[in-house]
Amino acid sequence: MDTFGYTFSFGPWNIHEGADPFGPPVRPTVAFEQKLALYKQLGFDAVQFHDDDAVPDLDHKSAAQIEAEARALKQKLDDHGLFAEFVAPRLWEHPLTVDGAYTSNSAQARAYALERSHKMLDIAQALGTRLVVLWYAREGTYQREAKDAVRAVDQLVAALDDMLEYAPEIRIAIEPKPNEPMDLAYIPTIGHAIALGFRTRAPERVGALVESAHAILAGLDPADEMAFALAYDKLWSVHLNDQNGLKFDQDRAFGSVNLRRAFDQVLVLDSHRFYEKGVIGLDVKALRTQPAELAHKHLANSRETFLWLVERVRSLDRAVMQECIDARDYEELDRLIIGHLMRC
């Protein structure tokens, strides 16, 4: 299948055991080595990592140990013909970060967050990627009065500055999300992410990652969020997926809930040559009810849907589309897009 110049990635967490807050795992754990072997088979060239996907249990390892393990992993990636797209610090599981990491009221927790971020940056460099992603999982509150939200922004800027200074080659993409696990997050949209970058010591090294489901949870259109970031030349990665309404973050297969909304994302990405700028990341999860032996199909299917939609974008009759726009005939524009998606 023609990939139209696109490269695809996913993270090891996208093949998972199916546990949810109300029930235990329903599928056996797939070993990391087995997951790695699946990448090429499913049509993927790049791996997204949390720091501890790359170096498990890194809180209890020395810098030298971490570097040695990350270098060994880089060799493994090379052997599979894969590369690391980015590394992200998993800052939301440690008991110290229960009230947040960079924005915790506890100085000890904030110090841990920075120390852990340095380890994450070391891993990124050993894996040969210059991109790191920050999803600010617990940087927010359940109760507004619990933290000072102005101070929180200052703390996020200070943490970014610290990372930018520690690793001068690295670029940081902020992945906003409006809620979950927190009730309300401090950096809920791409506008917030980009604004934060402009307050740092190196704004040219701070960009954004748009996740479709996160934009939908913020009540926004993912294609417009991508467009905003593209307009600032800040769209450095994407997490394509889908989401059925305003509930928990579902990470549904791309296009599986709202095909037209998926088409609009591909339209903006392809029209603005994203294939020259970044990798198409798919942050999708298999449904809890999917049997174990089939619990990787969501990845190949999301990729295929993306490529089908690229074909639909490129075969769209732009002249007819322009005629509709010029005539202000929006009903005809609707019909054109729906008919084109349905190949009518």
In whole angstroms, the minimum distance from the beta carbon of 208 to ligand XUL comes to 12
Query: Applying CB under 6 A, does 175 fall inside the site for ligand XUL?
Result: yes
- When asked if residue 238 is in the footprint of ligand XUL (CB under 6 A), the reply is no
136 binds ligand XUL (CB under 6 A): no
Of 51, 53, 162, 249, the active-site residue reads 53
How far is it, in rounded angstroms, from Cα 312 to Cα 266?
9
Closer CB to Mn ion, 239 or 312, in the complex:
239
What are the strands, taking DSSP E only, across the chain?
Answer: 8-10, 46-50, 83-88, 131-135, 140-141, 171-175, 184-185, 206-211, 235-240, 280-282
Binding residues for ligand XUL restricted to 276-315, rule: CB under 6 A: 283
* Beta carbon nearer to ligand XUL, 104 or 243: 243
| SS3 state at 89 | coil
Site map 83..112 versus ligand XUL, x via CB under 6 A = -----x------------------------
Judge contact between 263 and 313, C-beta under 8 A: yes
Is residue 53 part of the annotated active site? The answer reads: yes
Write down the least CB distance from residue 175 to ligand XUL, Å. Answer: 5
Which option in ligand XUL, Mn ion, none does residue 53 bind, with CB closer than 5 to 8 A by kind?
A: none
> In the annotation, is 214 catalytic?
no
Given a contact cutoff of 8 angstroms between Cβ atoms, the answer to whether 45 and 9 are in contact is yes
Contact predicate 323/316, CB 8 Å: no
CB 84 within 8 A of CB 47: yes
Tell me the CA distances in angstroms from 188 to 182, 284, 286, 300, one per residue in order: 11, 20, 25, 29
User: Which residue of 39, 49, 135, 254 would you call a contact of ligand XUL, by CB under 6 A?
Assistant: 135
- Residue 139 touches which of ligand XUL, Mn ion, none (Cβ within 5-8 Å per kind): none
Q: Which is nearer to Mn ion, 136 or 312 (CB)?
A: 136
Could you tell me the two tokens for 202?
């190196």
Catalytic residues: 50, 53
